[in-house]
Amino acid sequence: MKTQKANPIRRGQKPRARKKDNVLVMQAAGDDKKIQTVTTRLRSSLKITDVRVIVTCPDRNYVLVKVLTSEPGLYGVGDATLNGRELAVAATLEKHIAPMLIGRDPQQVEDIWQCLYRAPYWRAGPVQMTALAGIDLALWDIKGKLAGMPVYQLLGGRTRRGVLAYTHATGNNFDETEDAVRRAMEYGFKAVRAQVAIPGLEGTYGTSLRKTSEETAGRVDQQADLPTTEVFEPGPYLRTIPKLFEHLRLKLGDEVELLHDVHQKLSPLEAARLAHDLEPYRLFFLEDPVPPEAKDGLRLIRQRSATPIAMGEIIHSPLDFVPLITERLIDYLRCAVTHIGGLTVARKLASLAEFYQVKTAWHGPADVAPPAHAASVHLDLAIQNFGIQELVFFPDVAREVIPGGPLFQGGYMDVEDSPGLGTDVDEELARKYPYRRSYLPLARRKDGSVHDW
């Protein structure tokens, strides 16, 4: 694994400014004393001058936020992508949030967070919390650039050499899923999420080989411009999944960490049964076993099994996590940093969780952009109670439009030691890939009634 310097700027040493760093003014100032004067002046007069919202579709839709400041070249980039509701977030940012920010000091990250959370009066919700996160990430990016430090340094500094990552493996049958897990292991992964198509059901969440699968969801070139439909039945699902993990443990042994995502499809009683039936196969965690509306049902799962539970990618009000943490109903906090309101609030949740031995597993899918992945990894590196990080590899076209982001090697993720979050957006290139309407799929039971996807 790559080892990195703990701190890029030692005391008495001039800040190193690369061409694209936004601390050039500090470098130009010459000796340390002048640097200090310029920095102090810059800090006391810094203002937000513009908030640009960039909606782009390099392979799938992303919403980027660029916060510009009165210091030429100093800006921050955040991610505010909400799969399937991109334009609602973009409008919130442009029409409601941007006017409140012009002229404000971008260094007041906490105060701006509190204003944007409380000022609308209407609390939380995925659209508002994602918009707020986009701004929050951009402000942390600016703060890092001003300090000449990567964001994890501002969060307390490195507590680990790297961040344990997991990827997805999927197949139409047990053998195909086993092969996919093996491929991930050969690539260096020590933890893999395993999903399989359920016999008799058309399309199953998490299986990439069907048109309506999770891998293609939101990927516009493969999707109709109205929601596609999958079929779900709990019976066959509950019979198949324990057999999948029995197969995987038998073929792959005990060492690889295995995970599974239920994607909020079960009732508490069904989920309790699944968690119990999976216990012999020692999952790293079982993800989102019930929908958020049924989160009280996590108590039933706890009574029935010791399978670790991760929950939260569709919970968007930070306060909803408090009972889950303080009653120890979950083992892994699994909201997306970018859908819960950003680093400012995610680190508070992580701190609360630390006191209850609950760890983090921030949501890291392909449908949030590199600044969101980078923010998660910066936080993972700094907190004590990090658990695991979901990792995706972006296609080249997305990496060209939104450069930078975490690195992966030997099963672990890391970030470059550049100031801020270490990501950017090429606005000109982004314009070449305009937004295209896309939806997440819908699920129905065999009798036609609507179910959670």
**Residues with Cβ within 8 Å of residue 183, at least 6 apart in sequence:** 169
**Residue 380 touching ligand CS2 (CB under 6 A):** no
Minimum Å distance from CB 214 to ligand CS2?
Answer: 5
**Residue 390 touching Mg ion (CB under 5 A):** no
Give the residue carrying structure tokens 């999952």: 283
Binding partner of 429, given Mg ion, ligand CS2, none, CB within 5-8 angstroms per partner class: none
The residue among 78 and 206 lying less far from Mg ion, judged by its C-beta, is 206
**Residue 365 touching ligand CS2 (CB under 6 A):** yes
Buried/exposed 81-93: b ≥16 CB within 10 Å, e otherwise = bbbbbbebbbebb
Binding partner of 390, given Mg ion, ligand CS2, none, CB within 5-8 angstroms per partner class: ligand CS2
Q: How far is CA 156 from the centre of its chain?
A: 20
Site mask, ligand CS2, residues 253-272, x = CB under 6 A?
--------x-x---------
Q: Which of 61, 83, 305, 385 binds ligand CS2 (CB under 6 A)?
A: 83
**Residues with Cβ within 8 Å of residue 118, at least 6 apart in sequence:** none
**Residue 21 touching ligand CS2 (CB under 6 A):** no
**Residue 313 touching ligand CS2 (CB under 6 A):** yes
Minimum Å distance from CB 97 to ligand CS2?
Answer: 22
**Residue 442 touching ligand CS2 (CB under 6 A):** no
Q: Which two tokens stand for residue 12?
A: 């008495």
Pair 109, 60: CB distance under 8 Å: no
Helix (H, G, I), strand (E, B) or coil at 195: strand
Does the active-site annotation cover 263? Answer: yes
Choose the binding region for Mg ion from 88-96, 261-269, 325-333, 419-427 (rule: CB under 5 A).
Answer: 261-269
Helix (H, G, I), strand (E, B) or coil at 409: strand
Minimum Å distance from CB 202 to ligand CS2?
Answer: 18
> Is the Cα dihedral 301, 345, 139, 155 positive or negative?
negative
**How many CB atoms are located within 10 Å of the residue 310 CB?**
28
**Residue 389 touching ligand CS2 (CB under 6 A):** no
Catalytic residue among 260, 263, 363, 378: 263
**Residue 261 touching Mg ion (CB under 5 A):** yes
d(CA 417, CA 73): 19
**Residue 214 touching Mg ion (CB under 5 A):** no
Nearest CA to 92 out of 62, 57, 69, 120 is that of: 120
Q: Which of 71, 230, 331, 367 binds ligand CS2 (CB under 6 A)?
A: 367
The residue among 365 and 387 lying less far from ligand CS2, judged by its C-beta, is 365
Burial of 276 (0-12, 13-18, 19+ CB in 10 A): middle
Pair 300, 91: CB distance under 8 Å: no
The residue among 22 and 389 lying less far from ligand CS2, judged by its C-beta, is 389
Does the active-site annotation cover 247? Answer: no
Q: Note the residues at the interface with ligand CS2 (CB under 6 A).
A: 83, 214, 218, 261, 263, 313, 365, 367, 390, 440
Which residues are designated catalytic?
205, 263
Q: Note the residues at the interface with Mg ion (CB under 5 A).
A: 261
